[in-house]
Structure 1
Amino acid sequence: MGDLSRRIDPATPPPPPATVPVRRPVDAFVRLLGWGWVLVRHDALAPREITPLLPIWVRWIAHLLHAFAGREGRDGRPGQRLGKAFEHLGPVAIKLGQVLATRADIFGVEFARDLGRLKDALEPFPVDQARREIERSLGRPVEALFADFGPSVAAASLAQAHPATLADGRKVAVKVLRPGVERRVAQGLDSMRLAARLAVKFVAPARRLEPSAFVETIARALQLELDMRLEAAAASELKDIMDKARADGGCRMTAPAVVWDGVGKRVLTLEWAPGVAMTDPAAVEQPGLDRNALADHVVQAFLTQALDYGTFHADLHEGNLFCHAPAELTAIDFGIVGRLGPSERRYLAEILWGFLSRDYDRIARVHFEAGYVPPEHAVETFAQALRAVGEPVIGKQASQVSMGRLLGQLFEITALFDMHLRPELILLQKTMVSVEGVARRLNPDHDLWAASQPVVERWIRRELGPQAQIRDAIEELRATLKALSRLAQNPPEPATVVVREVRTPAWVGFGVALAVATAGAALVLSLWPAIV
């Protein structure tokens, strides 16, 4: 397909999110100590099961910590203990646990399964309290909108869902924020901000991970997630995107419609999602369900949203997905939405295409042009390092690839080339981790690259292929003609004008030539499908 990366304009890295001061440093520090103590009491900071694997000089510290483990740290598996600790620590820690629960390939199936309850099986708050929250938020009795309102069927870190029936008979899901959750999120983020500052000051290797920028990106997403009106708008926008992509054959995921009469700051009402929640073991046992196709569709739906529209569901774990035969997906919980600008979309597509075509030079060039790698390094050396990562993985079944080892190798390479975490890509990277984890839970041998190829190849051909080049040329010519037209209408005043003979202004001839070129390009564009 030629050297397409040359058409990428160098990017100016966006400024990092503004640093938010820690409101109560002393309280935040005490809370951090409390977090550490909770992990120690649950034997989740350095679990006894992994102590023999630790370096000798670390083992004595681990044994010391084990001595302080409480009753809650003596029973259960590591994943169960960590899940209980996260639940105790609150919404911010639970969000981390949800991501870890998608990566059975890294942490083990049993560990991931034990953390799985953090997705939607937490302790619910009473239904009477939910009804009061709804009435306060909507300003009217529950019975004024719902003919029937049932107990919670799913409870997550920030909210829980209730089944209900509208007056017209439609079944809906009513999502209600947990009472007091805003305060717990604010406290958790305050402690995370302090932890990030301490990491920057005392842990030199952590600095290139931009911990403060990471925290602020997550904080912004969580704050938006705490307003159900914004989530309703995101649900409506993503449904439109999914429906358009589905009509074009590029996405097998949909979203339930928003019931706007049932939307308030702390309440969201959606039509009932078809299918079975993917956290339910019975989901993958449905008659006629194609697990391999479903794994492909999870990956392809995410990439279609990110590449084609620049807007994607950024919390795609099993707790937010429903499925039904043959391989249909419905997404819920739209509190976190990721957005990519045109440059980031192009970089993502080029990098993925480079791996698919095993063109490591291209991948390296894109990283440099995007500003991901500092310019003092050599493109050729970085391409060599990428080859060392990619070649052992491309074409292998997922079960043959150690994701822990691969991530470790990638971390070493990013350190070698002074690569810093990019705040604008945090949600993208987080979602890619979750999506790959979901796909591998469905099919342990899932080939992420093969699933990605149709979407990436379609985007490359449409946005960077011959038709795109002609289209871009036409747009540039049109812009030039408009500029020349404005110049003709408002010519600059010359300092001295000497008229010797009457001539046709040069801009007229140039404009005619551009117009002819534009018409010719338009003709080529219209005939291109027949040519190719």
Structure 2
Amino acid sequence: MRGPHNLLRLIRTGATLERTGAMKVVMDAFDTPPLVRMAARGLVWPFQWMGYRGDPKVPPVPRALTALGPAYIKFGQVLSTRPDVVGNDLATELRVLQDKLPPFDLAVAKQSFEDELGVSVSSVFSEFSEPVAAASIAQVHRARLAETGEEVAVKVLRPGIEKAFRKDVDAFYFAADCIEFLSPASRRLRPRDVIEHFDGVVTGELDLRLESASASEFAANTGDDAGFQVPSVQWEYSSRRVMTLGWAEGDPLGDNDALDAAGHDRHALGNRVLELFLSHALRDGYFHADMHQGNLKVAPNGDIIAYDFGIMGHIDEYTRRVYAEILFGFIQRDYQRVAEVHFEAGYVPANRDVDEFARALRAVGEPIFGMDATRISMGRLLNYLFEVTERFGMETRTELILLQRTMVVVEGVARSLDPEVNIWDVAKPVVASYIQQSIGPRALGRDLLKTARVLVRFGPRLPGLVEEVLIRQATPEVAVKPRRWSSAVIGGVVGAVLGGGAVLAILSLS
């Protein structure tokens, strides 16, 4: 039975926060009401002895999260990009969680490389450094290929990380089940689905072959993006627990002093981070979903370099169109259209009033657009939007969780570079360009053409399929193997054939 172990884990979480002093820091950061403070600390205090002490030289919150394990560290990494949420001091403290965690021994890393690839480190590399960065799941070494002299980054998973992470996630599942049981209203938010999504995403980080494939695909998608670089994968020296990439030389995006000393324009960099994320998400449907400062550098020529591709986001074309229309509706302050998109996509139950929903969205958007540039926040919009959709019965959309979370992180990165970055001014041309290309007559033509191509492949089978359905509907007693077809399907097939044929005819004439 895992239940007792998970309950113990959650109790130890609270006890660790209290014992390290992190509980008070977090409550101060979120301005927690006095009654809630007393209740929370009162529940945890008797179990304080069960908490981890952590390294006393480390500030309380990073100390607690580091002691608790990799999943908690991931959470701290997200908060480190949101000084507007947790305050500048705490955000700065949490940045040590991005790439400055205690490393494991160099000899262990070399042995892991040799065990995985079956070759000695000395035969592949003329140089192999001590760890240059250590994060929650892996650490990175700077090395030089003996054959070519090229500098590379070698990423090696932490020993036993799979087991440690599984322990954290099991406790999260247990907490989600408890929440759903104790609070039926919370089931609308589907907490277990949220944890399953998080589980799947980070489990992918634990297989570096998948990360290598992600880096390769991302590089192919973004090869023509101005001011952006992705290091190339060295497939020959990559495997499940080891990944080798070209070395990325540059200043950390989180080091404003270094960026200023190098003469980089931080306002332009902040704008570009936002533009790149929105372009990748909308144009490609494939985006870097862990874009905190620890995974970004600025090259001497001013290019932004991305690395660490363990968490990548994917959204299908339909969802991209819905998301773009919602964003563009807010940018245009067309709340009626934003409301209609929610209903058309099935995000809000059809039995609710679309006009009332539009008025509620106006109450969300107008106060934000009345703010100056330093206070306009996508994170604030998402929080308010969540409150409104909760009232209208909208369920949590697991396919959008990673997109929304990354949007919040990227905004935090941009604000850390320059608080004057105006997210709406940056987003408007990117979203408008996507809508122009993906929604409208041209997009309809492309959709119909795709449909026609599918029908061409199935063309020889269509008459038989339609005849089978017609016979079964006319004579239900005929023993025909059911295929779950209906008159609506037949109508859809006929409509698609006619529409696709029309598109092909137009294209042939053009």
- Tell me which residue corresponds to 2:480: none
Cα distance between partner residues in 2 of 1:280 and 1:108 = 18
- Tell me which residue corresponds to 1:262: 237
Q: Mean alpha-carbon deviation: is it higher for 188-197 or for 388-397?
A: 388-397
Cα distance between partner residues in 1 of 2:380 and 2:8 = 35
Does residue 443 (structure 1) correspond to residue 422 (structure 2)? The answer is: no
Cα distance between partner residues in 1 of 2:446 and 2:505 = 12
Cα distance between partner residues in 1 of 2:161 and 2:88 = 30
Q: 1:302 aligns with which of 266, 277, 284?
A: 277
Does residue 55 (structure 1) correspond to residue 30 (structure 2)? The answer is: no
For 1:124-139, list aligned pairs within 5 A. Answer: 124-139=103-118
Q: 1:224 aligns with which of 204, 213, 218?
A: 204
- Tell me which residue corresponds to 1:40: 18
Percent identity between the aligned chains? Answer: 41
- Tell me which residue corresponds to 2:490: none
Kept in 1: contact 2:376–2:423 (CA 8 A) = no
- Tell me which residue corresponds to 2:486: none
* One-letter amino acid matched to 1:308: R
Structure 2 vs 1, CA of residues 489 and 122 (structure 1 numbering), >3 Å: closer, same or farther? closer
- Tell me which residue corresponds to 1:456: 431
TM-score normalised according to structure 2 size: 0.85
Kept in 2: contact 1:283–1:324 (CA 8 A) = no
Q: 2:191 aligns with which of 211, 215, 228?
A: 211
* One-letter amino acid matched to 2:192: S
Q: Mean alpha-carbon deviation: is it higher for 226-235 or for 285-294?
A: 285-294
Structure 2 vs 1, CA of residues 215 and 515 (structure 1 numbering), >3 Å: closer, same or farther? closer
Does residue 369 (structure 1) correspond to residue 369 (structure 2)? The answer is: no
Structure 2 vs 1, CA of residues 81 and 462 (structure 1 numbering), >3 Å: closer, same or farther? same
For 1:222-371, list aligned pairs within 5 A. Answer: 222-244=202-224, 246=225, 252-324=227-299, 327-371=302-346
Kept in 1: contact 2:70–2:165 (CA 8 A) = yes
Structure 2 vs 1, CA of residues 364 and 131 (structure 1 numbering), >3 Å: closer, same or farther? same
Structure 2 vs 1, CA of residues 106 and 477 (structure 1 numbering), >3 Å: closer, same or farther? same
TM-score normalised according to structure 1 size: 0.82
**Structure 1 residue 264 displacement after superposition:** 1.5
Q: 2:87 aligns with which of 96, 102, 108?
A: 108
**Structure 1 residue 403 displacement after superposition:** 7.4
Cα distance between partner residues in 1 of 2:101 and 2:441 = 52
Kept in 2: contact 1:51–1:62 (CA 8 A) = no
- Tell me which residue corresponds to 1:14: none
Does residue 25 (structure 1) correspond to residue 10 (structure 2)? The answer is: no
**Structure 1 residue 355 displacement after superposition:** 1.3
Structure 2 vs 1, CA of residues 403 and 55 (structure 1 numbering), >3 Å: closer, same or farther? farther
Kept in 2: contact 1:106–1:404 (CA 8 A) = no
Cα distance between partner residues in 2 of 1:279 and 1:376 = 47
Does residue 190 (structure 1) correspond to residue 170 (structure 2)? The answer is: yes
Kept in 2: contact 1:286–1:324 (CA 8 A) = no
Cα distance between partner residues in 2 of 1:446 and 1:468 = 32
Kept in 1: contact 2:204–2:210 (CA 8 A) = yes
Q: 2:360 aligns with which of 385, 394, 404?
A: 385
CA deviation string 1:62-118 (max 9, x = no partner): 664679599969989xx9311110000010000000001101112111110011100
**Structure 1 residue 52 displacement after superposition:** 11
Cα distance between partner residues in 2 of 1:403 and 1:485 = 50
Kept in 2: contact 1:43–1:66 (CA 8 A) = no
For 1:172-191, list aligned pairs within 5 A. Answer: 172-191=152-171
Structure 2 vs 1, CA of residues 435 and 414 (structure 1 numbering), >3 Å: closer, same or farther? same
- Tell me which residue corresponds to 2:99: 120
What is the aligned-residue RMSD (CA, Å)? Answer: 3.3
Structure 2 vs 1, CA of residues 523 and 59 (structure 1 numbering), >3 Å: closer, same or farther? same
- Tell me which residue corresponds to 2:145: 166
Structure 2: gaps (5+ residues) = 472-494
Q: Mean alpha-carbon deviation: is it higher for 334-343 or for 196-205?
A: 196-205
Does residue 90 (structure 1) correspond to residue 90 (structure 2)? The answer is: no
Kept in 2: contact 1:229–1:265 (CA 8 A) = yes
Kept in 2: contact 1:104–1:112 (CA 8 A) = yes
Structure 2 vs 1, CA of residues 175 and 310 (structure 1 numbering), >3 Å: closer, same or farther? same
Cα distance between partner residues in 2 of 1:72 and 1:517 = 71
Q: Mean alpha-carbon deviation: is it higher for 451-460 or for 62-71?
A: 62-71
Cα distance between partner residues in 2 of 1:233 and 1:427 = 19
Kept in 2: contact 1:171–1:272 (CA 8 A) = yes
- Tell me which residue corresponds to 1:16: none
**Structure 1 residue 253 displacement after superposition:** 2.4
Cα distance between partner residues in 2 of 1:369 and 1:464 = 15
Structure 2 vs 1, CA of residues 400 and 173 (structure 1 numbering), >3 Å: closer, same or farther? same
Cα distance between partner residues in 2 of 1:71 and 1:514 = 65
**Structure 1 residue 485 displacement after superposition:** 7.9
Structure 2 vs 1, CA of residues 51 and 359 (structure 1 numbering), >3 Å: closer, same or farther? closer
Q: Secondary structure at the match of 1:393?
A: helix
Kept in 2: contact 1:320–1:331 (CA 8 A) = yes
Does residue 151 (structure 1) correspond to residue 130 (structure 2)? The answer is: yes
CA deviation string 1:103-135 (max 9, x = no partner): 111211111001110000111111111111111
Cα distance between partner residues in 1 of 2:106 and 2:152 = 16
Cα distance between partner residues in 2 of 1:56 and 1:164 = 53
Does residue 429 (structure 1) correspond to residue 404 (structure 2)? The answer is: yes
Q: Mean alpha-carbon deviation: is it higher for 119-128 or for 391-400?
A: 391-400
Kept in 1: contact 2:29–2:87 (CA 8 A) = no
Structure 2 vs 1, CA of residues 163 and 466 (structure 1 numbering), >3 Å: closer, same or farther? same
Structure 1: gaps (5+ residues) = 1-22, 496-509, 527-532
- Tell me which residue corresponds to 1:499: none
- Tell me which residue corresponds to 1:18: none
Number of residue pairs aligned between Structure 1 and Structure 2: 481
- Tell me which residue corresponds to 2:179: 199
**Structure 1 residue 281 displacement after superposition:** 4.0
**Structure 1 residue 415 displacement after superposition:** 2.1
Cα distance between partner residues in 2 of 1:52 and 1:221 = 28
Cα distance between partner residues in 2 of 1:359 and 1:192 = 39
Structure 2 vs 1, CA of residues 141 and 380 (structure 1 numbering), >3 Å: closer, same or farther? same
**Structure 1 residue 327 displacement after superposition:** 3.9
* One-letter amino acid matched to 2:259: V
Kept in 1: contact 2:377–2:423 (CA 8 A) = no
* One-letter amino acid matched to 1:93: Y
